[in-house]
Amino acid sequence: SQTIHQWPATLVQPVGSPLSLECTVEGTSNPNLYWYRQAAGRGLQLLFYSIGIGQISSEVPQNLSASRPQDRQFILSSKKLLLSDSGFYLCAWSVRSGASWGNNEQFFGPGTRLTVL
Amino acid sequence: AQKVTQAQTEISVVEKEDVTLDCVYETRDTTYYLFWYKQPPSGELVFLIRRNSFDEQNEISGRYSWNFQKSTSSFNFTITASQVVDSAVYFCALSESYGGSQGNLIFGKGTKLSVKP
């Protein structure tokens, strides 16, 4: 069966510090991978998605970046955190299935709660 | 433009009551997919159901049922005989078949359900 891991589970960082959040998927190959952010009291916002190693698409311009160094590894980074980067970060994966992308459900990891002080 | 509206921000019921969570969506596509996710206090999103736009049959899974009506662009979720363990935030989401974001999920803002004993 497939599992998705995220770490760390919680993180408190000062403004201006760097960030690295990691997500790994087990039990599947060539998944689509996604990073979402959930700010307090708000819905989920897609930040990045990836259809393959080294292929990253950004949905929202910001001071965050993402990388996919391996097929089942997705990393979210920042060089300098802002207060507004606080939130709950969720990684998700879905099966990649030909030309039609929307028909596969996304499975989410346990999330990382980031507080920037 | 795609949009998902969950007008109910919070709902509180007493155990064993039935409760319906509303979801209204907007899309220009003729082929699209609708989802419901549950987010318990732990934070992880749990996939509940996926429906495609060509299948308007209602679905029942145990105490859960879903009513999909294209005429009103609604995909409502009913929990019968609610239990305390149903307490969570529930998200409705939309995905278009050939969207540029590889199946990006557009989430509603969620409905927080509290089931009291």
For residue range A87-98, what is the model confidence (pLDDT) as tens digits? 999 999 998 765
Output the pLDDT for position B98: 58
Contacts of A111 in chain B (CB under 8 A): 43-44
For the range A26-31, what are the long-range contacts, defined as Cβ-Cβ under 8 Å and sequence gap of 24 or more?
Answer: A26/A2, A26/A72, A27/A1, A27/A2, A27/A3, A28/A2, A28/A72, A28/A93, A28/A95, A29/A71, A29/A72, A30/A71, A30/A96, A31/A71, A31/A72, A31/A93, A31/A94, A31/A95, A31/A96
Q: Nearest by CB to A32, from B32, B47, B102: name it.
A: B102
Q: Nearest by CB to A43, from B99, B101, B108: name it.
A: B108
- Please give the residue that has the higher pLDDT: either B106 or A15: A15
- B50 interfaces chain A, CB cutoff of 8 Å: yes
Output the pLDDT for position A98: 58
- A107 interfaces chain B, CB cutoff of 8 Å: yes
Count how many residues are written for chain B.
117
- Please give the residue that has the higher pLDDT: either A58 or B48: B48
- Please give the residue that has the higher pLDDT: either B58 or A70: A70
Q: How far apart are CA A38 and CA A111, in angstroms?
A: 10
Output the pLDDT for position A102: 58
> Is the CA virtual torsion A11, A15, A17, A22 positive or negative?
positive
Output the pLDDT for position A61: 65
pLDDT tens digits, one per residue of A49-85: 898 999 998 887 678 999 999 999 999 999 999 999 9
